[in-house]
Amino acid sequence: MKKMIRSYMVFTPFLYRILGVYLGTVLLVTLSLWIVAMAGSPMALFLTAVMLIPADVMLDFFVFQGIFSKGFDYGILRNSYEGLSVLKAGVLGDQLRRLLQITIVMSICAASVWGYVRENGFITSAPEYVYFIAALILLIYSLNTLILNITRKHLNYAEALLPQMLSFTVSGAAVGGMFDMFMNENDTDSVPWLLVMIPLALIVTYCMVARIGNRYLMSFGEKKMNRFGTDDRKKLIIFLLIAFGIDFLMLPVMYIGYQKGADLSAVLVAQMMYPACGVVLAKLTSYNEGKLPKFAYGTILATGLFTIILAVHCATCPMPYEANGAATSVQYLASSYVAVLGSILLIIALCVVDKEKREKAGFRFHNAGKSIFFMFLFFFLYFARIIVIYVVGGLIDGNLAEYMSYFAQIFTADGQGMLWFNALISAPLSFIIFLGEEYGWRYYLQPIMQKKFGVLPGTILLGIIWGIWHAGADYMYYSDGTGIQMLCSQIVTCVSLGIFWGYAYMKTNNIWVPVMMHYLNNNLVMVIAGDASTQAMQGSVVSWSDIPVLIIGASVFWLFALAPTMRGKAVAEKAAENNEEVA
């Protein structure tokens, strides 16, 4: 803290501290009180919030743009590790100042209009109001930081003015939309929104600090790989924070929706995007990655963000919808449209980007013949596993003929043709959510686990981690009162699939192979169930006696653990090196 204060004093000019921090805070507080006195309604909160965004950013804009235009080539910020730490500490100090200033202003506004809000029944409890104000504070803070993050990308005033004006427009709309939602009587719980805003604020802050640090490292010559050391550990931490941190933070959101009886399919769509978003943010904030397909990466991040927003709204404000006799939600339909749009934009992005960037990001389609072979092999093994499970289950229950008749219906029942058609040709319209998982598990985490623990142990351990990652869905979506049994079966499934998918990825060096396998694995469930709706995957009842049968069926994938490719640590190191070359 002492170093941060000292760095902040060095980094920010004295005149700026006087005008921006001291007089600026007094001015905003006075303005807030005046608006409250004039309006006398919650609209004062909205007006102050919208005005606070440009007012606060403009205090920084001219000062910091001038500093960044110098390219850091002066004084204490000259090329040194100490200069980098001072720069980052100064930026964090400024971020804390901004958060404190916004909190003071918004708290005054909130206290002034609390009586009006309570009397008109917008929000009836004090804790709910505090949660709402806290979420609004974090939203304004994040939007402020985002605006400065965008404008600081440019080295002169003229280039930065346009993105700044566009950001103001988006920011005002976001604050207005959130304010309007909470100021209407709609029985909305503010806690999930607060939980979403906290990681969002942290992520935006981290991106700003990382961007400034990267520019500092770049300001003294051409960017060179590992010139300032490796940042692999930092990238892994970012990935874990996104892939597992958001998953953990969404558990109370799921529980709220579960208690309300909401269809949580939209939450599952969002969850599948966490791993890819973690990889993308880790790579974009790294100074050792080189050229990356930023349009494609931006599409992945935007898809992830919108699906998360819809997931939170799905759980807190259920909006049931019935399609073709099946119950779902408006938010799930919206998530599906977001996935379709994201998939189309990602296809366009990967088609227009140059080959080098696709290679760096691991999006190239390598080994076409071998890749197609493994996709067909998985299709065959998928049904081989079903046959084994049906035969073993039929022998145990003494109803083998009945079990096999169930299997025959997969191909002969009425309406199955349309289910097969949908399952096999709709991949281009939804593949981004399956890439969302596989880009994190197979492309990024598998080589790391294999290098550290060996090929087969690393692959199995990854499968266990992947299975546990589904715990919330196992308890509140996939199962009906048998959460622990479903979690165990999920781990068995993830380990067995992970072995084959990991093997196929190592043999082809093609991320699209496990992506397509994941797509088939999920969508063929609906074919087997004879139900095209999401209800085919919900509310299963799993008993402990089902687990051994599932393990026996999964043996068709476990056999690939004996393959030569899955032996030895040297192979793991080579796989990690290949991933680094592609990444």
Tens of pLDDT, residues 422-433: 777 776 788 999
Mean pLDDT, rounded, for 338-348? 92
Identify whether residues 114 and 252 lie together within a single domain: no
46 and 66 fall within a common domain: yes
One domain for residues 496 and 518: yes
Q: Is residue 280 part of a domain?
A: yes
Tens of pLDDT along 242-274?
999 999 989 988 998 888 888 899 999 999 999
165 and 294 together in one domain: no
Looking at residue 99, what is its pLDDT? 87
pTM exceeds cut of 0.95: no
Same domain, 133 and 168: yes
360 in Cβ contact with 291 (< 8 Å) = yes
Would you say residue 229 lies in a domain? no
Q: Average the pLDDT over 310-337 and give the result.
A: 83
What is the mean pLDDT of the segment spanning 367-394?
A: 90
User: Whats the size of the chain, residue-wise?
Assistant: 583
Among residues 364, 394, 418, the one where a domain terminates is 364
193 lies in the same domain as 98? yes
> What CA–CA distance (Å, rounded) separates 534 from 518?
16
Which SS3 state, helix, strand or coil, does residue 290 take?
coil
226 in a structural domain: no
Query: Average of pLDDT values for 271-287?
Result: 90
Q: Tell me whether residue 565 is in a domain.
A: yes
Residue 426 domain boundaries:
368-582
403 and 348 within one domain = no
What are the structure tokens assigned to 261, written together? 């009886």
Q: Residue 316: which residues within 8 A CB-CB, separation 6 or more?
A: 188, 189, 192, 193, 253, 256, 257
Same domain, 346 and 373: no
Residue 64 CB neighbours (<10 A) = 21
Most confident of 193-197, 363-367, 410-414, 456-460: 456-460
What burial class does residue 229 get, using C-beta atoms within 10 Å of its C-beta: 0-12 exposed, 13-18 middle, 19+ buried? Answer: exposed
- As for how many domains the chain has, the answer is 3
Place of tokens 């080579």: 574
> What mean pLDDT is predicted for residues 535-558?
87
Token pair for residue 271? 């969850």
What mean pLDDT is reported for the chain? Answer: 80
Is there a single domain that holds both residue 307 and residue 324? Answer: yes
Q: Domain end: 297, 332, 364, which one?
A: 364
Same domain? For 181 and 266 the reply is no
Cα–Cα distance measured from residue 547 to residue 230, given in angstroms and rounded to the nearest whole number: 43
Measured CA to CA in angstroms, residue 14 lies from 19, 449, 545 at distances of 9, 50, 72
Average pLDDT for 485-494:
93
Whether 110 maps to a domain, the answer reads yes
Burial class from Cβ neighbours inside 10 Å (0-12, 13-18, 19+) for residue 552 reads: middle
Q: Are residues 198 and 282 in the same domain?
A: no
Note whether residue 160 is domain-resident. yes
Q: Look at residue 228 and tell me if it is in a domain.
A: no
**Cα–Cα distance measured from residue 517 to residue 504, given in angstroms and rounded to the nearest whole number:** 10
User: What pLDDT score was predicted for residue 231?
Assistant: 74
Cα dihedral angle (469, 472, 473, 474), rounded to 10 degrees?
90
Interatomic CA distance for residues 93 and 204, integer angstroms: 15
- Gap between the Cα atoms of 330 and 322, Å rounded: 9
pLDDT over 60 (residue 71): no
Q: Are residues 309 and 415 in the same domain?
A: no
Residue 142, SS3?
helix
Within a domain: 262: yes
Contacts of 557 (CB under 8 A, 6+ apart): 381, 385, 496, 497, 499, 500
- How far is Cα 479 from Cα 488, in angstroms, rounded to an integer? 12
Residue ending a domain, among 333, 364, 395, is: 364
Helix, coil or strand: residue 326: strand
Number of H helices and E strands in the chain, helices first, is 27, 2
Mean pLDDT of 99-106: 84
CB 276 within 8 A of CB 436: yes
Give the side-chain half-sphere CA count within 13 A for 457: 6
User: What tokens does 536 get?
Assistant: 């085919």
